[in-house]
Each structure stands twice: as C-alpha cells, then as structure tokens.
Amino acid sequence: MYIDYKKVVSEILDSRKETGGIHNIYFAACGGSKAGLTTADFFLKCEAARLESHVYTAKEFVLCPPRAFDANSIVVTLSASGTTPEAVAAARAAREMGAVSIAIVGKQDSPLAREGDYVFYNGDEPKYQYSTCSMAIALKFAVELLHQSEGYSHYEEMQKGFGILDDVIAKAREYAEAGAIRFAQEHKEDKVLHVMATGANYNVAYTTTTCILMECQWIHSNPIHSGEFFHGPFEVVDKEVPFLVLVGVGREREMDERAVAFLQKYGKRVTVLDGKEYGIDILGDSVSEYLSPLVFTGVLSRYSHRLADARNHSVAVRRYMWHVPY
C-alpha cells in the first residue's frame, strides 16, 4: 500500500478552487470504524481555523444530512470489509452531491471502494502496522489537508511522530502485556466494566466499550467521557464497580487525572492506563495528543486478547453478527 497524500490533497483542493474551496469535511462510518475516524476529526476541530469537521454514524448522515454538506465538502467513509451498507450509502450520497468521496477500505474490490473518488486501501500490508491502519490513514489525510489548505505549524513534527509510531506502539504493547494479564484475571468474571477517556482518546474508550467489551465479550459498559464523569455517572462508583481509565498525555490530561483521583478514593477496582507510561509523550510535544489514540488502540488490543483468554471467550465469537439477518 502506498498513498500519495500530497497528490490526492492537491488534486482535491485544485478541483474546488474555482468554486470557493473545500469548506467542510464529514467522517461517516459505523461502530469502531466511526470511532477510528474521530481521531482525524478531533485533530481538525483543534487545529483548523476555517475547515469545519464533523463525525456521523453513517446512516444518520444519509437520513438526516447536514444542510452544509454540498459539492465543496469532503466525505470520508471507512469499512474494513468494504461492504458495510451504511458506509456505502454515505459514500454514494457524497458522489450524488458532487462532494469529494474518500473511501478507506481493507478490501479493494468492494462496494465501498466503488463509491470512492479516492480509495485508500490498507489491506495488503506485509504485516499489520498501526502507522498504516485506517485510523492513521484518516489522520494522515487530515494533516495533509490542513497543511495544504491553511498551513499546519507542527506538520514536520507530526511526520516525525508518524515515523516513530510503530516503534513506540511495539514497545507499548510489550510493556502492556503484564498489565493486560493482571487485568484479565481481575475482570474475567465481571458483567459490567466502564471505560473512561477524554479528548482524542475518547474514541478509544468508545471502541473498547462497543467492540471489545459489548461485541466480543458481551460485557456491559458505558464509554464515559472523563469531563462528564462528575455530572452523573460517578454516582455508580463503589468498591465493586470496575473502571478502566485511559489517561492522556496532552491538554486533556487533567480531566482524566481528576477522574482517576476520585476513583482511587471512592472506588477500588480501577485500572489506569497512563499514556506517559506507554511512551506516548515521546511522539512530540505538540502532536502526541493526536497520535495517542493509535497507541492506546495497540495497547487495548492486548487487553482485549488477554481478557478473551482469561474468559475462554474468543474475540471471534459472535451470536448475531455474520450469523443472522438483521
């Protein structure tokens, strides 16, 4: 796989130059894929002065489309299989609108790929690398888009961060192993397990709840934003209720730390994954915050597999998905 982000972005911007330029971008996908795109959305919300960015679950984008969505919009869709009907419909809506349709897929010959003006294919890597996963592809595209359209002062630092990302994640995953085994033993009997994060990492909490716990382990969970914790959810805290908290390395960190302090005082069963322990801050002072969801995704994958082992409940088991029509 090789994606020439510079060329793609340059072509897109040129194509809309005469009509006022690209004014907004919509990320539209489902479940873990939607969460994956949120990293790019968060980056653009924080760093873009003019380009407006939004995330939608794909079906809502199709049924309740934003009125600001027009031929000067970009729509980024994502589906690993390339077949998710809602994502395909969103990409089709983009083409019908005359917007720019970007499809990120893990399968090149797929319905979603056929709806993309540009197809970012990440399926034929020799081995899985986080720096070329779908989340990273969407973020790299967003970084390039911002840089060419408005300028991004930390562009070089971001490229450096991407350059060392796989090493940082490999080390983080290795470091995570012991904790993942302890976590799995501690929680193998639990029926409820809440996950907390904030900022760019909130989407990792969402994926952990939605895909790892509810989808793969049938464990109830709420992905709680650390900034919302004290406005309702914290009342469930006692010495029994387990929480998993991702602590960010950027500006959002104080929200996570405040939640952890409370949990350590009034709760008991708290697992803290501190981004600093995983070396995320090495990725660059101004960019590590945006790259951190990629590292946490790598770490949580270890947690997911060790939990599956301890529960003797494979991550491949489903009761409905792939088995019944819905």
Binders of a copy of itself among 135-154, rule CB under 8 A?
none
Query: Could you say which of 89, 91, 176, 237 contacts a copy of itself (CB under 8 A)?
Result: 237
Answer yes or no whether residue 68 interacts with a copy of itself by CB under 8 A.
yes
Residues 6+ apart with CB under 8 A from 199: 42, 248, 250, 251, 252, 255, 289
Q: Do residues 53 and 105 lie in contact, with contact meaning Cβ atoms separated by under 8 Å? A: no
Residue whose C-alpha is closest to residue 297's, from 37, 28, 19:
37
CB under 8 A: which stretch of 39-47, 120-128, 135-143, 178-186 binds a copy of itself? 39-47
| Distance separating the N- and C-terminal Cα atoms of the chain | 34
**Rule CB under 8 A: which of 115-134 touch a copy of itself?**
none
Residue 246 gets the label, from left (phi > 0), alpha (psi -120 to 50) or beta, of beta
216 binds a copy of itself (CB under 8 A): yes
CA distances from 285 to 161, 166, 273 (A): 10, 18, 19
- Name the DSSP class of 75: E
Selected from 39, 74, 86, 145, the binder of a copy of itself by CB under 8 A is 86
Between residues 144 and 252, which has the closer beta carbon with respect to a copy of itself?
Answer: 252
The residue from 22, 34, 78, 161 that contacts a copy of itself (CB under 8 A) is 34
118 or 303: CB nearest a copy of itself? 303
CB of 178 to a copy of itself, least distance (A): 28
150, 33 Cβ separation under 8 angstroms = no
Listed residue (247, 248, 243) closest to 233, CA to CA: 243
> CB of 153: closest distance to a copy of itself in angstroms?
11
Is residue 255 involved in binding a copy of itself (CB under 8 A)?
yes
- The reply to whether 316 sits near a copy of itself by the rule CB under 8 A is no
Q: Does 96 interact with a copy of itself (rule: CB under 8 A)?
A: no
Rg (CA), the chain: 20
Q: By CB under 8 A, which span of 28-36, 160-168, 176-184, 293-301 interacts with a copy of itself? A: 28-36
Q: Whole-number minimum distance, CB 252 to a copy of itself, in Å?
A: 6
* Token code pair at residue 194: 């809440």
